[in-house]
Structure 1
Amino acid sequence: MSNQFEPIIEKAYNAFNERNIANCLSTMQDDVQWSKAWEGGYISGHDEIREYWTRQWTEINPKVLPVGFDERENGSLEVKVRQTVKDLQGNLMFDGFVKHIYTFQDGLIKTMDIELVEN
């Protein structure tokens, strides 16, 4: 199933994996609400996301690859993601799947939440 927001999501993940924060933030509303999976809780806005990712990348090396899209009945977009997290020495810390749940406003990401994938 193709979704109108898949190109935005692809751009965001590619930019994240390239550590291009500005390009990634260009896919988001200024007041975006973002889940802090690494620390818990939520952050809001570009400045908080930039600070969170910058701090995160000094401790871990995450890569995220979208592998499936599913539009939910409420209009949100569920993106199944393969997430690989290594420490800075290259040791594998996590390799598995999670769901990132997005809502959009005016063609940009408004919220992102995370759900565990049930086995």
Structure 2
Amino acid sequence: MTSARADHVRALYQSFNDRDLDAVLAAMAPDVDWPNGWEGGRLAGRDEVGAYWERQWNEIRPTTIVRDIKDRSDGTVEARVRLVVRDPAGNVLERSEVTHAMSSWVPTSSA
């Protein structure tokens, strides 16, 4: 994994934490297929993912801390992330370690 690619992934997670929806969605393929981990099911496309996150952020405050990023043999990127979820008052609802696999929206060049 190049440092530029890892930096890009970290920046996307920071954009999520900053609630910079436009920055994160712009990095995704237009036809992104995203798991709906909060409500169940799957989401298709940037518009559905954006609406999902807006609904989610009205109810809970998820924050991600990247622990590790690595290339996988199938060409995807794996990010091990510490997830902390708070209610609107700031009370911790959940702390967990999750692994995300990313594909086409992560640049493959070191530029």
Identity of paired residues, percent? 33
Q: Which SS does the other structure have where 2:12 is aligned?
A: helix
TM-score, structure 2 normalization: 0.86
Q: Which amino acid aligns with 2:68?
A: G
In structure 2, the partner of 1:92 is 92
What's the CA shift for 1:62? 0.4
**Bigger strand fraction:** 1
* 1:12 Cα deviation from its structure 2 partner: 1.5
- Structure 1 residues 43-97: Cα deviation after superposition (integer angstroms, max 9, x where no partner): 1111101100000011100001211012222111110001000111111111121
SS in 1 for 2:85: strand
Aligned partner of 1:10 in structure 2 is 10
> Match of 1:22?
22
One-letter code aligned to 1:80: R
Shift in Å, 1:39: 1.5
Distance of 1:17 and 1:5 partners within structure 2: 19
| Structure 1 residue 3, shift from structure 2 partner | 6.2
* SS of match in other structure, 1:28: coil
Gaps of 5+ in 2: none
Cα deviation, residue 4, structure 1: 5.7
CA distance in 1, matches of 2:81, 2:35: 15
Q: Cα RMSD over matched residues?
A: 1.9
| 4+ residue segments displaced more than 4 Å | none
How many residues are matched? 108
Letter paired with 1:70: K
Higher relative contact order (CA 8 A, sep 6+): 2
User: 5+ residue gaps in structure 1?
Assistant: 109-119
Are 2:50 and 1:59 equivalent residues in the alignment?
Answer: no
Q: Which structure has the highest helix share of the two? A: 2
Structure 1 residue matching 2:40: 3-state secondary structure: coil
